[in-house]
Amino acid sequence: MLAHNLIDYFGSLDAVFEASYDDLCKVNGIGHNAAILLNLLLPTYSAYIKSKMGNKPLLKTNSEVYKYCNWLLKHKKLENFYVVCLNSAYQVVGNVLISKGTNNEVRAYPKLIASAVIRTNANYAIICHNHPSGNCFPSKEDENTTIQIDKMLNMIDVVLIDHIIVAPTCIFSMKNREKVDIKE
In angstroms, the first-to-last Cα distance of the chain is: 25
CB 100 within 8 A of CB 80: yes
Report the pLDDT value the prediction gives residue 113, as an integer from 0 to 100. Answer: 97
Alpha-helix residue ranges (DSSP H) falling in 75-139: 110-119
Structural domains in the chain, CATH included, are: 2-50 (1.10.150.20), 56-181 (3.40.140.10)
> Per-residue pLDDT for the chain (184 aa), expressed as one digit of tens each?
787 778 777 776 767 777 788 888 888 888 888 878 877 776 666 666 555 555 567 899 999 999 999 999 988 989 999 999 999 999 999 999 999 999 888 999 999 999 999 999 999 999 999 999 889 999 999 999 999 999 999 999 999 999 999 999 999 999 999 999 987 5
SS3 content of the chain, % helix, strand, coil (to 5): 45, 20, 35
